[in-house]
Amino acid sequence: MNHPTCHSLRKRGVLLLIILLTFNNLQDVFAQENTSPITLIPEFVFGTSAASNKTFPERKPQTQAIFNLAWHHENNTQEWARWLQSPRTGISVGYTNFGNSDRLGSAFTLMSFLEFNAFNSQRLTTQIGIGASYFTTLYDFETNFFNRAVSTDLTWSFRAFMHYNFLQKEKVNYHVGVGIFHHSNGHTRLPNQGYNSFLISLSAEIKGTKYRAFAKNIPTLEKPERTVQNYIAIRVGTGQHVFSDVSIFNEKKEVYALSAEYGKIYNKTLKVGVGAFYRLYEHYYDYINDNESLVQDGQDYASLRDNPWHNASNYGLFVKGELLFNHVGVELLIGANFHKPAYKIDWQINEGWDFAPREIPEGWVLGELDSKFKFKHVINTRVGLKYYLIGTNSAPKHNIYAGAFINANLGQADFTELGIGYVRSF
């Protein structure tokens, strides 16, 4: 069993990496000979949070106040900026009131974002953000039982918005937007139903003197010459995963991960690869090795005790895409599990009656191994942020990175991971 201090250090490590990636904007901006101009964007957001569980507390509409700093990259000579047609990158700091101060509380969010023109329009943009949020009010079995959205004070946060610039003035551009906001702790503690919010926004982009002077004489930079590199990479990681709501199984334990991949890097901006992975779940191993309820003699999963290590393992293949922003990479992955037998126990305990006891009594209703289970048993997904030691714009032959990731079973969080990797390019 892991010492609680290890979990605290892991949480701090994830937060530190997110902060490092968030403020990487500053490193890349100020490293340029001509710094990218900045605009300030205060934003008011209004909407609703979907009920996270059947007995979710009543709530008023959700409100957010967000302060954005946006860097414009029209003069950025790095290849990712040229191929992505001069996007904006930025930092957001926000406050959210979920409409029920006693039961849902508030959240404070720190986030990096990328914004680019949509459909070749100069007025319509798409913004994608990822970061972390701190919650003031959590699930508690005795005092806040009906809010099963968040059970940890720190969560991942994701934002996807479309903005329309409906009014342009010399000093201010006014935008309306529509989008979604998601919070999840990455399955580091249960319950973790998460917050899914559907929102509209009104924002004002304030253009300072420097930006207005820059906008009158935007340089014309042509796209660079196309390039293709081959690469191979290996990654090792360790994650945190909980098993069920039962207190003894709701403690964080390790998931050990190893992967290898091969692929191509296009124009120093887009990395596409295929690979294989192996994982070992400590919770699954302990459940099998300790002869817990569903693997005892006469139960459906008794045969898993024949080889606890192998049956607590998970391996398969994946395909991935990654956008490279010099020192920062944003990764999306989808894979197929060829072997993950203990997930059947996980599913049946967590998708059956709530708060299954450690010793499952006869007649207890377990989750069905239905088509929903079959898809999640086979398909795994992954999203994460990476920080590369050497900027990818220089196309280094050797590079290493650190990353923070959420691994999921077809979108349902599985475990949160910190990893390091080595990349060899040809």
Q: Which long-range contacts (CB under 8 A, 24 or more apart) does 193-197 make?
A: 193/52, 193/53, 193/148, 193/149, 194/52, 194/149, 194/150, 194/155, 194/413, 195/49, 195/52, 195/98, 195/149, 195/150, 196/49, 196/50, 196/52, 197/47, 197/48, 197/49, 197/50, 197/62
Give me the torsion for CA of 157, 15, 44, 53, rounded to 10°: 40
pLDDT in tens, the chain (426 residues): 444 445 555 555 555 555 555 555 544 544 444 556 889 999 999 999 999 888 899 999 999 999 999 998 888 888 888 888 888 988 999 999 999 999 999 999 999 899 988 888 889 999 999 889 999 999 988 899 899 899 989 898 999 999 999 999 989 999 999 999 999 888 888 888 889 999 999 999 999 888 888 888 877 778 889 999 999 999 999 998 888 776 667 788 899 999 999 999 999 999 999 999 999 999 999 999 999 999 999 999 999 999 999 999 999 999 999 999 999 899 999 999 999 999 999 999 988 888 888 898 888 999 999 999 999 999 999 998 899 999 999 999 999 999 989 999 987 889 989 999 999 999
End-to-end CA distance of the chain: 42
CB 372 within 8 A of CB 378: no
Indicate left, alpha or beta for 298 from its phi (over 0: left) and psi (-120 to 50: alpha). left
Instruction: Tell me what pLDDT residue 6 has.
Output: 53
Rounded to an integer, what distance in angstroms lies between the CA atom of residue 290 and that of residue 276?
30
Q: How would DSSP label each residue in 274-341?
A: EEEEEEEEHHHHHHHHTT-GGGSTTSTTGGGGGSHHHHTEEEEEEEEEEEEETTEEEEEEEEEEEE-T
User: Three-state DSSP class for 206?
Assistant: strand
Instruction: Copy the structure tokens of residue 207.
Output: 């253009």
- Three-state DSSP state, 60: coil
Give CA–CA dist 150/387, Å, rounded: 28
Whole-structure pTM value: 0.86
CA dihedral 313, 238, 355, 410 (to 10 degrees): -70
Q: Show the domains of the chain with their CATH numbers.
A: 4-215 (2.40.160.20), 228-425 (2.40.160.20)
Alpha carbon 317 to its chain's center: 20
Cβ 256 vs Cβ 241: under 8 Å? no
- Give pLDDT, residue 209: 86
> How far, CA to CA in Å, does 97 sit from each of 65, 102, 154, 184, 277?
9, 11, 16, 17, 40
pLDDT of residue 142: 87
Burial 161-175 (b: 16+ CB within 10 A, else e): bebebeeeeeeebeb
pLDDT at position 18 is: 57
